[in-house]
Structure 1
Amino acid sequence: MIYYPLLAKGETIGISAPSSGAPEALHYVVRESTLRMNKRGFQTVIGETVWSQNKAASAPAKLRAKEFNSMMKEQSIDHLIPIWGGELLIEMLEYTDFKKLDKKWILGYSDTSVLLLAITLKTGLATAHGPNFVDVRGEQMDETTAKWMEVLATKEGDSIVQKASSKYQKEWDHANPTSCIFHLTENTEWKTISGEEESFNGRLLGGCLDVIRHLVGTPYGDVAGFREQFTLGEPVVWYFENDQMNTTELRRILVQMKLAGWFNECAGIMFGRSAANGPVDNYEVKDVYLALAEELGIPIVYDIDCGHQPPQMTFINGAVAEVTAGKGTGKVKQSFK
């Protein structure tokens, strides 16, 4: 079975940096985020790793894991939200105490998705792929981003529906944040590779492809073992996003996952919007999606609200998802069972 934490107002959220921390010039961002979180009715505990950044990480891997393990065991901390992603989270996995993880939400995306997916696959503890701590520091939140609180407050046995956003951010402009941090200027358009309306359902798993690909073939990426131990044999619905890869690299990774059995009993795949996906020799990202859809015989939905072009939905690794997409829009219903 899957174990679902439950978020409630007034609880305490631990803020850590299992990947990158904040250099001194960005400490103000942490303080802004803390202020907003407190105003929304949550207490915060800021870890020491949050305040440092050197050699592509907040701290050595063992120290990052030690702080994470401590926050997961500390009874006064109810949930964890990493400050943001980074580059080298995978270093700390071998020092993470997977056998002593309390029932707490861990929310984030980008490099954090390595930790999220590994935890769910190894322990059956549901994890949340959604906004980072700094993404919610605005005076207000757009409707899609703000849904993270409602999703994490969904009780075990209940369901919640998220719908496609109306607009998204094409490019980051960190120097000129809006009242909700993001610049939502472009019209959102969910697409299907078939061009028709699609619907599918299964256990939800996924993350940032740039980094979760490195779990393939390791003890932290045992998809078959997860399905056998923690689910009733339901098919998997994958969600992915691409931060920096061109189309041929993306294709290689997806083929590797297929050969490793990650797509066995796959009901469908969702791909997030991306500023990457650069074509190589006229090989477009749509060609990648089409080839995968034909090989697996499954529906594929793309340009969904997920990843580095906000806003993004909050996806729960381990939840049962019902996906519907067509005519430029879509929705995802997640059931905590």
Structure 2
Amino acid sequence: MIRYPALNQAITIGVTAPSSGVPTELHQVLKEACTRMVEQGYRIECGETVWTQEKAKSAPAKKRADEFNNMMKKDEIQMIIPPWGGELLIEILEHIDFENMKEKWILGYSDVSLLLLAITLKTGIATAHGTNLVDLRGNYSDETTAMWKSVLQTPTGSSIVQYSSEKYQKEWQHDHPSPCVFHLTEETNWKSVSDKKVLMSGRLLGGCVDVIRHLIGTPYGDVRFFSKNYIKEEPILWYFENCELSTTDLRRTLVQMKLAGWFENCSGIMFGRSDVNTSVGGYEIEDVYQELFEELQIPIIYDIDCGHVPPQLTLINGAFAKVEVENGKGTVLQYFTE
């Protein structure tokens, strides 16, 4: 069964960098995020790795893993939020202590999603794909981002609903700071391949497709084991977001996932918005979605609130979700069902 960590308001958040740390010139950004969390009643404990960054990583793999493992063991820390993602989190997986892992929420996305998915697949502990810490440094958060608290405070056996955002951010404007961090200017429009009302449900799994694809064929990406041992082979509802893959590379990745059995007993697939979905030799992202729809004969929706084009929903790996999309709007109802 799936185990959901408990979260109360008065908690200590551990901040560690299992992928990239924060370079010296951006330390103030992280300090602002930590200060904002303290103002909201949380306690913050930062590890050494968050303050360093060299050669595309915060620290050597063993040091990153040890710091994460220690925070997972400490009773004083009830939740972990990395500052952001990065590039080389995969290096730490062989050093993670999956066998003795306590139930704590881990929240993040991008490269962090590789760790989230690996933990849920191997242990059955639910993990949270959503905002990172530095994007919580504003005076306030938009309604979609702010839902992370309500979602993670949902008790086991209960449910919570999230709605598609009204607007999203087209491009990052770090040189124009604003009270809300994100500059939400574009109308959100969730789409489906069928152009019809879509209803689908299943156990959520997913993350940044760029990195979680590298779990295929490893002990950390055994979807069949997860399905058999933790969700009694209930249907799986996948969500993906694409950070850097070309249209053709995304297609190759999805075919590999299919051949590896990741889409067995799959009830639907959701794709987040992406700003890299450019044409390759006339091959469009819509062609990728259409071909996947024809091959799998399951609902395919896209441009949902997930990933590097914010804001994004808080999606719980392992939770049972019912998703509805119609006329460009969507709802995601998540049940914290064991």
CA distance in 2, matches of 1:280, 1:18: 33
| 1:336 match | 336
Q: Secondary structure at the match of 1:205?
A: strand
Residue 5 of structure 1 pairs with residue 5 of structure 2: yes
What's the CA shift for 1:109?
Answer: 0.1
Q: Secondary structure at the match of 1:99?
A: coil
Q: Deviations over 1:290-336 (max 9, x none)?
A: 00011000001100000000000000000001010110110100000
CA distance in 2, matches of 1:6, 1:148: 13
**Counterpart amino acid of residue 126 in structure 1:** A
**Counterpart amino acid of residue 275 in structure 2:** A
Q: Deviations over 1:124-148 (max 9, x none)?
A: 0000000001011100000000000
| 1:40 match | 40
CA distance in 1, matches of 2:31, 2:58: 17
| 2:228 match | 228
**Counterpart amino acid of residue 190 in structure 2:** W
**Counterpart amino acid of residue 313 in structure 2:** M
| 1:206 match | 206
| 1:318 match | 318
CA distance in 2, matches of 1:301, 1:230: 26
**Counterpart amino acid of residue 290 in structure 2:** L
CA distance in 1, matches of 2:90, 2:120: 15
Contact 1:135–1:181 (Cα < 8 Å) also in 2: yes
**Counterpart amino acid of residue 183 in structure 2:** H
CA distance in 2, matches of 1:181, 1:6: 28
Q: Secondary structure at the match of 2:251?
A: helix
CA distance in 2, matches of 1:261, 1:167: 35
| 1:163 match | 163
What's the CA shift for 1:245?
Answer: 1.1
CA distance in 2, matches of 1:250, 1:24: 34
Off by >3 Å, runs of 4+ in structure 1: none
Q: Deviations over 1:2-58 (max 9, x none)?
A: 000121111000000000000100000111000110111111100100000000000
| 2:153 match | 153
CA distance in 2, matches of 1:50, 1:284: 38
CA distance in 1, matches of 2:95, 2:283: 40
Residue 66 of structure 1 pairs with residue 69 of structure 2: no
Q: Over aligned residues, Cα RMSD in angstroms?
A: 0.5
| 1:136 match | 136
| 2:217 match | 217
**Counterpart amino acid of residue 36 in structure 1:** R
| 1:175 match | 175
Q: Deviations over 1:59-117 (max 9, x none)?
A: 00000000000000011101100110000000000000001111100000000000000
CA distance in 2, matches of 1:82, 1:133: 6
Aligned-residue sequence identity (percent) comes to: 61
1:71-90 aligned at under 5 Å gives the runs 71-90=71-90
Question: Which is further off, 34-43 or 153-162?
Answer: 34-43
What's the CA shift for 1:232?
Answer: 2.1
**Counterpart amino acid of residue 78 in structure 2:** D
Residue 99 of structure 1 pairs with residue 99 of structure 2: yes
CA distance in 2, matches of 1:214, 1:180: 34
Contact 1:245–1:278 (Cα < 8 Å) also in 2: no
CA distance in 2, matches of 1:32, 1:64: 23
CA distance in 1, matches of 2:249, 2:175: 31
| 1:121 match | 121
Q: Secondary structure at the match of 2:240?
A: strand
| 2:309 match | 309
Q: Secondary structure at the match of 1:98?
A: coil
Q: Secondary structure at the match of 2:199?
A: strand
Contact 1:177–1:183 (Cα < 8 Å) also in 2: no
**Counterpart amino acid of residue 295 in structure 1:** E
**Counterpart amino acid of residue 157 in structure 1:** G
**Gap runs ≥5 in structure 2:** none
CA distance in 2, matches of 1:40, 1:5: 20
Number of equivalent positions: 337
CA distance in 2, matches of 1:223, 1:152: 24
Q: Secondary structure at the match of 1:274?
A: coil
Q: Secondary structure at the match of 2:105?
A: coil
Q: Secondary structure at the match of 2:176?
A: coil
